[in-house]
Structure 1
């Protein structure tokens, strides 16, 4: 933490009166919380005032002017951070937010979920700089693009050359009235409905996205997928095959197994697979999947994309597929190890491909979560009390 960080206590964080002199911060459904004894209306007002617009030094100055002990307030803020209840913004996050009260309200709702690493620093500015290309304005691709735009991804482009069909309509995606329109234009309108200020313009020639989502049936030998692999562009499959939602593999060229690896593994298990795969991707595949399957697939894929862009942990789809089969739709992970005949891990390219402006590379480690409700303890004086927030 630095004095320039802007502490934000999400507005939806519960502030509950456990007793006449005790306030509980959070810790309801998530099991993460902090209890402060004794609590008071002044303390609740101080906490509600943590709106992310002031640096910590300004928060402490204002607290002192209100009669609180700045050192005790700083200790309280540290306790909230340790419990995972406080989000520290930085200037880049604030500058990256869209202007206007409606956009600010949406941004505030999204920010608590945008954490770059276990230390808790948000990555909102990185999301705003990122560009995602969705190949396929499908019943998965369009809701997925809408979720990404609403979650703060700065530029979300959808590529599709076909006309919209009545069967393409889905909640959060194309509408029945879009039938006959170019899918790409109808999809752009759907994204704007979810996020009115989203940049949905097609990418200029020669510009590469940070990540590509393959939202229609793909063959491992497809020239586009092969080109992304050779160029080092991160890509992930998100589609419905038959009635099963499939997310992954998420391919980081040079670092994870690729689409061809999975194809070769299938061939090893079934020599007839090449002929079957060719049939699966021959011609226009009709829209498929129930609404709930498509939406759950889109949300699952969006989570994988955002985990990669944020650098917040190892997405489950790295070198694997996450499959959602009706009727229970419980995610099942199927790993696809690199195939010795492929050689993709030795292939040249942007093997350290990362979102724009991020030099850390994609996070491949697990993320830990702080859990459990606890009191803010200090070795010298016990639980933090309201009286301790005031100067002697």
Structure 2
């Protein structure tokens, strides 16, 4: 191990004997007691020295081998030490693509803060390359989500949509003006390629793929151009995802309201069917109104504020990446909504419905978490 203080965490002396690593409360760590000698020793933790050399150079600071080992151990336990030479075939493959690694340095720094174990950031960034995500929708929200996921290192990002790109589909983070008139799926594939840091992974690099086949889907992001499909999602398209155990996340804009969530973990959290049943329980007129909203052909352009759509896409992509990296984001079984003009994000927990065939209502929270871990184990293997 070649210990390195995580460079993303700025440090400052809080007083004579305490050093704070990190600025924001979510990730800041205070360490004491510290003195001038140990403070100087921190400068040696730059990833270029192994422990034997660190011990040797620390003697010039009047620090014993025991003091060095104890300090490095304390820093490691506090989540402040990274290992720039973290091992693993996926990490090695990423290091062999120096251009891509340079593009991902800000992401790697962020992951190193979020995941405290040495080398944890590198391993998770490398693991993204083996994942396959499907985005359903290439409008202002869906296209931007696909671009962010691809640019963040997800190896295979597919975008499904029909028709041709319209002028109102264009956005700074999504489809470009030059795509107007092209097939939406073709334009989205080009966007994904442009956003990626390098070429798509070979089949041999992709976990869970069969010989000559595609890997299983790690996640589906449902971001239709018609925001009603997110605000009141139709349970029928999700039935095969529930049956196959494929996690899926809803995101979109309905009129002047942005929606992110729920992230559905099949059999563990509430699904679109649960949401539909719960709404019908609360408002007996809801099914009647929904059928009217869904019927007929709409010719008017959907209301979709560009700033709100960009915010929704960014939040949805961040939640998706958090899930892919092995966490349970706040959208798990929960909807987040923000309406113009105040943009006050509010969350609503979606309860699993006893009348829904998804079976989530029979699970406890502990069983849900176990299901999430199983889903990640499946994606990893």
Aligned to 1:225: 238
Picking from 245, 253, 264, the partner of 1:251 is: 264
User: Which has the higher relative contact order, 1 or 2, with Cα contacts under 8 A spaced 6 or more apart?
Assistant: 1
Normalised TM-score (structure 2): 0.76
Distance 1:27 1:223, change over 3 A: closer
**Does 2:5 correspond to 1:13?**
no
Which residue of 2 is the match for residue 296 of structure 1?
A: 311
**Is the 8 Å Cα contact of residues 133 and 158 (structure 1) preserved in structure 2?**
yes
Q: After TM superposition, give the deviation of residue 39 of structure 1 in Å.
A: 5.4
The 8 Å contact of residues 158 and 200 in structure 1, kept in 2 or not, is answered as: no
**Counterparts in 2 of 1:97 and 1:33: CA distance versus 1, 3 Å:** farther
Normalised to the residue count of structure 1, the TM-score between the two structures is 0.74
Q: Is structure 2 residue 152 aligned with structure 1 residue 154? A: no
Structure with the higher helix share, 1 or 2 = 2
Deviation (angstroms), 1:229 = 1.4
In the TM superposition, residue 333 of structure 1 has moved relative to its aligned partner by 0.8
Q: Deviations over 1:51-75 (max 9, x none)?
A: xxx7xxx621332454555543333
- Counterpart CA distance in 1 for 2:43 and 2:214 is 52
| Corresponding position: 1:111 with 2:111 | no
Q: Does 1:330 align with 2:338?
A: no
**What residue is the counterpart of 1:38 in the other structure?**
36
Pairs aligned (count): 344
Counting only pairs closer than 5 Å after superposition, residues 236-385 of structure 1 correspond to structure 2 as 236-282=249-295, 283=297, 286-312=301-327, 314-345=328-359, 352-354=374-376, 356-358=378-380
Q: Larger deviation: 181-190 or 284-293?
A: 284-293
Aligned to 1:209: 217
Per-residue deviation, 1:310: 1.8
The answer (yes or no) to whether the contact 1:13–1:25 under 8 Å persists in 2 is no
* Distance of 1:67 and 1:206 partners within structure 2: 52
Match of 2:164 in 1: 163
Equivalences for residues 35-74 of structure 1 within 5 A: 36-38=34-36, 43=41, 45-47=43-45, 49-50=46-47, 59-68=50-59, 69-74=64-69
Question: Deviation at 1:235?
Answer: 0.6
8 Å contact from structure 2 (residues 8, 110) kept in 1 = no
Paired residues for 1:86-101 under 5 Å? 86-88=81-83, 90-92=86-88, 94-97=91-94, 99-101=96-98
In 2, Cα distance between equivalents of 1:16 and 1:118: 19
Q: 1:337 Cα shift? A: 0.9
**Equivalent in the alignment of 1:384:** none
Distance 1:329 1:65 in 2: 56
Structure 1 residue 24 displacement after superposition: 4.7
Alpha-carbon distance change, 296 to 346 in structure 1, aligned in 2, over 3 angstroms: closer
Native 8 Å contact 2:21 2:30 kept in 1: yes
**C-alpha deviation, 1:290, in angstroms:** 1.9
Give 3-state SS (helix, strand or coil) of 1:152's partner: coil
For the residue of structure 2 that corresponds to 1:76, the secondary structure is helix
Note the C-alpha offset of 1:173. Answer: 0.9
SS for the counterpart of 1:323 is strand
> Gaps spanning 5+ residues in structure 2: where?
203-208, 363-369
Residues in 1 aligned to 2:155 and 2:5: alpha-carbon distance in whole angstroms: 24
Q: What are the Cα deviations for residues 268-305 of structure 1, in whole angstroms up to 9, with x where unaligned?
A: 22223223334444556845322221122112212221
Tell me the SS of whatever aligns to 1:343.
coil
**1:208 Cα deviation (Å)?**
3.2
